[in-house]
Chain A
Amino acid sequence: MTTTTQAPPGSGRPGGATPRGGRRDRKPSPSRRREARFAYLLLLPAILATAVLVVLPVLWNVTISLQSLRLIELRNFTPFGFLQAELGFDNFRLVTGQREFWSTVGRTVVYALAGTVLSLLLGLWAALAMRRPFRGRTAVKALLLVPYVLPVVAAAFVWRTMLSPQYGIVNAWGQDWFGWTRVDFFGQQSIDLPLVGTVPLAFSTVIAFEAWRYFPFAFIFIYARLQAVPKHLYEAATIDGATISQQFRHVTFPALRGVLAVLFLLRFIWNFNDFTNIYLLTGGGAGTRVISIEIYEWLIGRSNPGAAAALSLILAAVMLVVLTVYVRWQARRDQT
């Protein structure tokens, strides 16, 4: 699984150091060997922590998913118990056989995709608006980062309060100014809007929260990239008579393509895996249940770690499929 995942951005070689110590055809000098030994010593705790708490659990997850395991049986559980246990795909059959299974998978993909695209668009828009200096730009820039740095519990609670049907300020203003009837944004599955038709209300609100919370992340990166576009390109474009929108299309956007692609990938992965935002906003109710919530339900609500492990592997697999499609598509587009 690790081999097919994209390497994260900026994980290039360290400055100055050659990628590999000593070539095979030449015997490394004693000082070189001492250096390597010291390096391993320094890296050891980090490697150990990663191995025990990241690599091992992933492997272990596979064995758990193949066993029938209830929370009450955990007392007799051992890491190598699976060697004697009866293994099978019952857990996979159980979780995929749920009536809502495929709609949950679809919802997870839509949630990740919509949240990612919206947060990237908002971030791009903000970065373009803030690009040229104005009085107070530093302060506004700091303010724009607020949704991202605000503790998630606080952000979710403020949104729940603002949008509450009983005492939410949004409903109060909507009622006073536009005469709408109070809406339960996080509790109502769908709403009929004039012109638009039926809209999944709670699900859309959760996506809006996600876009709001993560647009600063896109904003920081796009803003930094914008500052690095050489000025003379714009000067040349102006001399050629390009309008502002033409400059965006032919100068700015091509410069941003790389950073946008990386941001899309990262945000998609993280949104796809998201548990906390939805759990805090709706608890997975009113048509917002995504795979992560379902995993938590199996683990805690139904005390069935085996099924939870199976579903978490399905989550990783679905993500991998979507990412492969995306990477292939990107590669093909870069070729043409």
Chain B
Amino acid sequence: MSRHAFEERFFRIARWVSIVFFVCLTGFPLLVMLGLSFRPVSSLLNEPGRLLPRLSEIDLGGYTRILSGREDGGFGFAGFIGNSAYIAGVTAVLSLTFGIFAAYAAARLRYRGASFVNASILMVYLFPPLVFAVPLFVMFTRLGMRPSFTAVIIIYFAYTLPLALYMLRNYFSSVPVDIEEAARIDGASRLGVIRHVIVPLSAPAIATVGIYVFMSAWDEFLFALLFLVEDRDSWTVALGINQLEANVGTPTTVLMAGCVVITIPVVVAFSLAQRFLTEGLTSGSVKD
């Protein structure tokens, strides 16, 4: 067999083997999570090698126990979901509002220092988060803002704003300038242009960036741990899963139900935003 024919055959097979491998690599943990969330914990201990639950033992008890309040014998996860939704929602609104303003300036306006601003937007992400975490912890402790949602929201806002700015700026630059100039000639102010031209034309991008910011705040762990851990009523979902496992002794299958619950919004949001998100993130890197 020639090298050519050998390679043809080898890579045709290798390709399918690889695809199956990657499907297993990513799908298997997902199946474990889903499977366990529907089983009672006794079933897990009896049959640890079973991937999917038997039809007869399917049990929604994990979901009701994790979600219901502590006074009803549950673990109060509904409260954590409320906390996380509030924190992530406020963060997204703040980040988008100020991100839109700044991105418009960065994409369209001429001013001294523009190249510096553009070059340093993403610099924040190169610093170790712990370099900010220590002084912020000292500062907010001193101000008596621990535990407090405000402290966490402020930090998330500052930390998600640069990426929001960067992604929005890339999109705003692609909106044709002609439309804007037409609106200006018709007497619109610059703010009017942002409100009535840029924002409506970029609605999908803005929604996507909003979802992205929401998801990062929903998922964040380090700052939640530093600022909210003392007060169980202020736990976010991420903190909730970790603390319930580490300190409260919650049955594994019940916690799995919690994991499924916090994953669902992320999956929904991501499938809504996926197209733009992958394109928006990678578009700059494809051009040489």
How far, in angstroms, from A10 to B279 measured CA to CA in the complex? 13
Chain A residues within an 8 Å CB radius of B242: 153, 280
The digit string for A142-159, where 1 denotes a CB below 8 A from any CB of B, is 111111011111110111
Chain B residues within an 8 Å CB radius of A52: 158
Chain B residues within an 8 Å CB radius of A150: 30, 263, 266
Q: Which of A134, A166, A171, A269 contacts B126 (CB 8 A)?
A: A269
Select from chain B the residue with minimum beta-carbon distance to A173.
B49
The digit string for A55-70, where 1 denotes a CB below 8 A from any CB of B, is 0111011001000010
**With A64-B134, A167-B44, A296-B130: A145-B36 Cβ-Cβ less than 8 Å:** no
Chain B residues within an 8 Å CB radius of A225: 282, 285-286
**With A42-B102, A151-B218: A299-B137 Cβ-Cβ less than 8 Å:** yes
On whether the beta carbons of A71 and B141 are closer than 8 Å, the reply is yes
On whether the beta carbons of A21 and B114 are closer than 8 Å, the reply is yes
How far, in angstroms, from A300 to B255 measured CA to CA in the complex? 26
Chain B residues within an 8 Å CB radius of A46: 98-99, 101-102, 161-162, 165
Chain B residues within an 8 Å CB radius of A269: 125-126
The digit string for B102-135, where 1 denotes a CB below 8 A from any CB of A, is 1011111111111101111111111111111111
Chain B residues within an 8 Å CB radius of A244: 7-8, 11
Q: Which of B110, B166, B274 has the most CB of A within 10 A?
A: B110
**With A74-B141, A161-B32: A9-B284 Cβ-Cβ less than 8 Å:** yes
**With A129-B18, A129-B22, A224-B286: A40-B110 Cβ-Cβ less than 8 Å:** no
Chain B residues within an 8 Å CB radius of A56: 135
Q: Which of B106, B110, B285 contacts A259 (CB 8 A)?
A: B285
The digit string for A279-320, where 1 denotes a CB below 8 A from any CB of B, is 110000000000010011001100001001100110110010
On whether the beta carbons of A167 and B241 are closer than 8 Å, the reply is no
The digit string for B1-41, where 1 denotes a CB below 8 A from any CB of A, is 00110011001001100110011011101101100100000
Q: Which of A53, A166, A173 contacts B136 (CB 8 A)?
A: A53
Chain A residues within an 8 Å CB radius of B19: 129-130, 134, 140
**Residues of chain B from 125 to 157 with CB closer than 8 A to chain A in the complex:** 125-139, 141-142, 154-155, 157
Q: Does B65 contact A (CB under 8 A)?
A: no
Q: Which of A32, A45, A140 contacts B101 (CB 8 A)?
A: A45
Q: Which of B3, B123, B133, B270 contacts A145 (CB 8 A)?
A: B270
Chain B residues within an 8 Å CB radius of A36: 109-112
Q: Does A221 contact B (CB under 8 A)?
A: yes
Select from chain B the residue with minimum beta-carbon distance to A38.
B190
On whether the beta carbons of B49 and A7 are closer than 8 Å, the reply is no
Select from chain B the residue with minimum beta-carbon distance to A52.
B158
How far, in angstroms, from A312 to B173 measured CA to CA in the complex? 38
Of A12-20, A196-204, A326-334, the segment with at least 4 beta carbons within 8 Å of chain B is: A12-20
On whether the beta carbons of B22 and A61 are closer than 8 Å, the reply is no
On whether the beta carbons of A57 and B48 are closer than 8 Å, the reply is no
Q: Does A168 contact B (CB under 8 A)?
A: yes
The digit string for A1-43, where 1 denotes a CB below 8 A from any CB of B, is 0100111111111111111111000000000100110111011
**Residues of chain A from 101 to 136 with CB closer than 8 A to chain B in the complex:** 125-126, 128-130, 132, 134
On whether the beta carbons of B7 and A162 are closer than 8 Å, the reply is no
How far, in angstroms, from A90 to B131 measured CA to CA in the complex? 19
On whether the beta carbons of B23 and A143 are closer than 8 Å, the reply is yes
> Which residues of A approach B to under 8 Å, CB–CB?
2, 5-22, 32, 35-36, 38-40, 42-43, 45-46, 49-50, 52-54, 56-58, 60-61, 64, 69, 71, 74-75, 77-79, 125-126, 128-130, 132, 134, 140, 142-147, 149-155, 157-162, 166-169, 171-173, 176, 212, 216, 220-221, 224-225, 227-228, 241, 243-245, 258-259, 262, 269-270, 272-273, 275-276, 279-280, 292, 295-296, 299-300, 305, 308-309, 312-313, 315-316, 319
List 5 interface pairs A-B (beta carbons < 8 Å), by A numbering. A18-B110, A22-B112, A46-B98, A146-B27, A169-B49
Known: A38-B105, A212-B25, A316-B128. 9 other contacts (CB 8 A): A5-B123, A8-B125, A42-B102, A43-B117, A77-B142, A126-B18, A176-B49, A292-B130, A312-B131
> Which residues of B approach A to under 8 Å, CB–CB?
3-4, 7-8, 11, 14-15, 18-19, 22-23, 25-27, 29-30, 32-33, 36, 44-45, 48-51, 98-99, 101-102, 104-115, 117-139, 141-142, 154-155, 157-159, 161-162, 165-166, 169-170, 173-174, 177, 190, 215, 218-219, 221-222, 225-226, 237-238, 241-242, 245, 252, 255-256, 259-260, 262-263, 266-267, 270-271, 274, 278-279, 281-286, 288
